[in-house]
Amino acid sequence: MAQAQSALAGIAVLDLANYGPGARCTRILADYGARVIKVAAPPGRAGAPAPIFHAYAARRGWQQAHINLKAPAGRDAFLALAERADVVVESFRPGTAARLGVGYEAVRARNPGIIYCATSGYGQTGPASGWSGHDLNYLAMGGYLHTGGRGPAGKPVLPGATIADAAAGGMHAALAIFAALLQRGQSGAGAYLDVSVTEGVLQLMSLHIDEHLATGAEPGPGHALLTGRYACYDTYACACGGWLAVAAIEPHFYRNLCRALDCAQWSERQFDDSLQEKVRADFAAAFLRRRRDDWVAALAPADTCVSPVYGIGELARDAHLNQRGAFVEAAHPEHGTFRQLAPLLAGMERGPSPLRAGDAAHSETAELLRGAGFGEAQLTALRESGSIA
């Protein structure tokens, strides 16, 4: 049942992040009902590639302000918006926001209750804080790449999703902001949030890291159940060339799987390390006898923890995901109507279809600054100086 009011209704967020973890964070906040204002340099000044129209849910629910933060008048315009905001999100290199005059101290001086979220790859302090990086770097330093699958010559396999940006960064930041908003509601105090994406990866890797810290073990590929040690938790090819994921961890699920594959001889030897290669070989031979979708139809409803390995096109056609409303229509002023992922996290409202996509070139700067008390003469001067667009 849809909520009567969105969780973040009435919360205003200024977003200085063009992409990566900060933009993932404000995507989440917007889909929970926050009013997100994307603050970007006027066109032609940023030096960054043009945004991809469908990225970040096609900018639905975001407003856009074009402000040149390097100009003193642009900085002052941003601070005027910050006076009326609840949250600021930035993803500059540590120290950059402060040098521009839009760091936490400058904003807090104008708005003591502000929740200021600084997202960075390695955190605002420490020997690595100044390093540049992207998703792959944070997954590498956080241990994710080492414990995952390996290619030829032991090469760590590139992940299929930007897990660090999306979860260790974006969801990490959104969760921290939710907590800070809750605390502010009780104390009235704002907060400074130092969101390190790498530390978010450590949180995701906590099972392995805590095992090492407690026992001295060195988790890696094939070390434990979840990294490929046992045949009951693996992927298998099928007759059609498709693949299945098998995660029959609990003994009763595993016994069901063995019976269905005519491998009952292994049903009581699930965690016998001396037999795993034989079990794996028999499972692999069995799965090659039928097509993937035939196996899914037979095994998925039979308590075996089997699912298809989908390509993106396949999941977009999946009956279950479509019945659950995982996809919606979006309407873009230039690119027309297309499908996209719905607001998916629990408690998000999906709204009427089609959802209105945003246009990165559209500016609502003047309207937003009028709301902050700027008059027409001030707006004209800001435009003429190149401070806003």
How would DSSP label each residue in 227-286? GTSSTTEEEEE-TTS-EEEEE--SHHHHHHHHHHTT-GGGTT-TT-GGGHHHHHHHHHHH
Please give the structure tokens belonging to residue 330: 């979006």
**315 vs 334: CA distance, rounded Å:** 27
Helix/strand/coil for 193: strand
Catalytic residue, chosen from 134, 212, 335, 362, is: 134
Tell which residue, 210, 197, 90, has the closest CA to residue 137: 197
Is 165 catalytic? The answer is yes
Up-side HSE of residue 294: CA atoms within 13 Å toward CB?
13
Please give the structure tokens belonging to residue 115: 């929740």
**Helices in 45-171 by DSSP H: which ranges?**
55-58, 72-82, 96-100, 104-110, 135-141, 144-147, 163
Spatial neighbors of 185 by CB under 8 A, at least 6 apart, are: none
Catalytic residue, chosen from 15, 165, 234, 282, is: 165
Is 135 catalytic? The answer is no
Up-side HSE of residue 18: CA atoms within 13 Å toward CB?
15
Active site residues: 134, 165
